Structure 1
């Protein structure tokens, strides 16, 4: 396997590819491992399985209790964390460089033979269920769940990514063991080493520790695109006690691989990524509707969404929503001004140094290219491509990829007081009411 990005990489007999970023200024080594398994592979009705699998990996290998595993990491001066995405579970290990060989051996033991103790399974399953119950107190999580559940209804993107109380409770330990066996193999692992590597000694240690890695098949996804609709639609997550109305405006976003993603991200930075951006000036500086507002244009192997979020007061929620809808439509149809684009480019070029200041920060974008299929050219030529972005091409790409289709406005607040003003301000094609304490059941009925 050849690395898809410029930079040092190694191919070992047992490990298909190891991405390398060296920096000997601090005696620290980072080992990052991508397991190609995530939320998309959760069985229907068992959403949250990938998240629970990661929890059990962190509980340690066979023959070592979770407490003993934690103590061993501490004795090495090491830390272990993880993230679970739709397609990749990423394991982060950081350790004092003198103890890096011992950490690699410990990690290999963990991944080859996880403990999968029933007591750990029951405890972490209960913990995740308790965490899922707290969504009722998290307005951002409620709005996001409502948006994806409705906008991507009957689509994999519409499933609860981290699981719900019901789905987490249905997960079986044997299913997690099978999931691990499928994910631990030569075609579903990508390794990265960063920091104080001192020659190739750690590569040889990695080779020994992961010798005879099982051969398996790469994961393939057969996901259809969301069927686009038309018009504007409203969803209100009813929380009568709220005076601040968490607001999300969602529309069509990007798909990895066939979109000019970087140019659109530059435009979005101009639109909603800076204090001087159009969104911030209109929502906060000029009208004082809310303290902050953000815009994200997401991308995935199927078309993701563009989302704008803010939290105005209940008395101005309708006016704020109408303005957000107007600004989003103008952005999707017209793009940004030359002045705004120039400011965004300067901001991104100046800020890029902070994105690559440490070896692990340089490593993570390269792993994203390898594991998620992001364009390698954007990584390798980022500064050049940002500098060369032209206004006409940027705005044409925004218009071609982001305009059209239906939009969904989601509000978390008092449905009784919001309904009338929102109908008047937005003239929606439909209105859906969800209860904050039964959102999964309500989504299932829609």
Structure 2
């Protein structure tokens, strides 16, 4: 029944551009009557990469302020109404996008759309609410220092993408948050929250025509504007091996990330690298997990990942060994990376992961919301035509030579960042000595930001 309405009319999902009031609205609709729920995402092609220097975190603050008051709506009334209608509403910001998303039971859809359209088009940006939000955001940054995993990931990106927008924290830093004023929020909102910069994705218990009508209602109060160009340039490769050690007292366990620049969806060997990485560190039975956890018991988890954005993102290997095993674990990871580049993955590994990826694909498209998000992701990140639709075919077509060539081409063992959270006085020297050809060691306090 997924393709048809209960009254017999077709419910085919589609992505298109409709003209409403002389304005092109980018809309994705993925219908499904399976449950009486509707999920909506209003995404703007602007994120933290647009934050001015000295105002890092502005994009995230602006998005969060949408829920803190609008014309005729106090923040308390907004929260009460969301609960009363049985819905959920949230905002997310990444370097490349700002999204407002909500899910609501079908019978409450109309009043929820009215609320969301008001929040999007007529936010009040109340001074008192802004001051309260800034205090909350600062407290969240301080609280995040308790998460060693967060500190490790932050130090890694700060070092790998030094001087680049991808190296800046989406949530900002305390001095930048304190510097943000209402005029900054109003300016960011005015520059980026426009119809032509938006993509609306609707999934669930709606048909295509209704979905387009909902999108028009949601964006009707926004100015036409224009699609905002991405200011981000391709990140440069930083030569050499660099260690950034986040010094935190009394750590008996470490967090450790090793990696460098990875892949881009437009690379001809992008899918081949995704497949190869799955064999290396993408499953519970992967090589990295077997060597680190199963054979040596040095870390409960061990994984590798290749991320993507509009520009080239990072390749990372993650482990969390206890402090006494940190230097040996790091040396092993570097050795495994060397062997991976030298010898590649095996025929058996390739066969296994291709079957794994093909069989698990069903769980990536088993709901209308997941299918809609794939289409939104393709639009937001300028993915190649058919990136998701053709991925199964591309995965099955990857050869062993292609997978291993992608490893050698995209993954460097010379230009690396090693990020470690631990107590430097206890293990710092041993960790540094376990990295041959180390160009630079930087020790940062855990409360640096």
Offset at 1:143? Answer: 1.3
Q: Secondary structure at the match of 1:373?
A: coil
CA distance in 2, matches of 1:429, 1:202: 55
User: 390-399 vs 249-258, which deviates more?
Assistant: 249-258
Q: Partner of 1:39 in structure 2?
A: 48
CA distance in 1, matches of 2:234, 2:31: 40
Offset at 1:419? Answer: 2.6
Q: Partner of 1:319 in structure 2?
A: 328
1:99-122 CA distance string (max 9 Å, x none): 222222221111110121112111
CA distance in 2, matches of 1:65, 1:148: 38
Q: Partner of 1:341 in structure 2?
A: 350
1:86-145 CA distance string (max 9 Å, x none): 110122111111222222222111111012111211111100000111232111121122
Q: Secondary structure at the match of 1:162?
A: coil
Counterpart of 2:157 (choices 125, 131, 148) is 148
Counterpart of 1:99 (choices 105, 108, 111) is 108
Q: Partner of 2:123 in structure 1?
A: 114
Unpaired stretches in structure 1, ≥5 consecutive residues: 1-5, 441-446
* Structure 1 residues 246 and 201: CA distance shift in structure 2, 3 A: closer
1:249-281 CA distance string (max 9 Å, x none): 122212342353222111111111111100000
Q: Partner of 1:13 in structure 2?
A: 19
Counterpart of 2:446 (choices 430, 436, 439) is 436
Unpaired stretches in structure 2, ≥5 consecutive residues: 1-11
User: 125-134 vs 139-148, which deviates more?
Assistant: 139-148
User: 14-23 vs 45-54, which deviates more?
Assistant: 14-23
Q: Secondary structure at the match of 2:329?
A: helix
Q: Secondary structure at the match of 2:403?
A: helix
User: 308-317 vs 228-237, which deviates more?
Assistant: 228-237
CA distance in 2, matches of 1:401, 1:132: 33
CA contact (8 A) 1:186 1:216 kept: yes
Aligned residues: 434
* Structure 1 residues 352 and 156: CA distance shift in structure 2, 3 A: same
CA distance in 2, matches of 1:408, 1:225: 18
Q: Partner of 1:67 in structure 2?
A: 76
For normalisation by structure 1, the TM-score amounts to 0.92
CA distance in 1, matches of 2:88, 2:432: 51
CA contact (8 A) 2:38 2:104 kept: yes
Mapping for residues 265-414 of structure 1, pairs under 5 Å: 265-403=274-412, 405-414=414-423
Offset at 1:209? Answer: 5.1
CA distance in 1, matches of 2:191, 2:181: 16
* Structure 1 residues 51 and 340: CA distance shift in structure 2, 3 A: same
CA distance in 2, matches of 1:148, 1:25: 41
CA distance in 2, matches of 1:204, 1:313: 55
CA contact (8 A) 1:100 1:202 kept: no
**Aligned pair 1:253/2:262, yes or no?**
yes
Q: Secondary structure at the match of 1:235?
A: strand
CA contact (8 A) 1:26 1:196 kept: yes
For normalisation by structure 2, the TM-score amounts to 0.92
CA distance in 2, matches of 1:310, 1:412: 11
CA contact (8 A) 2:159 2:167 kept: yes
CA distance in 2, matches of 1:398, 1:81: 38
Q: Partner of 1:444 in structure 2?
A: none
Supply the RMSD in Å over aligned alpha carbons: 1.9
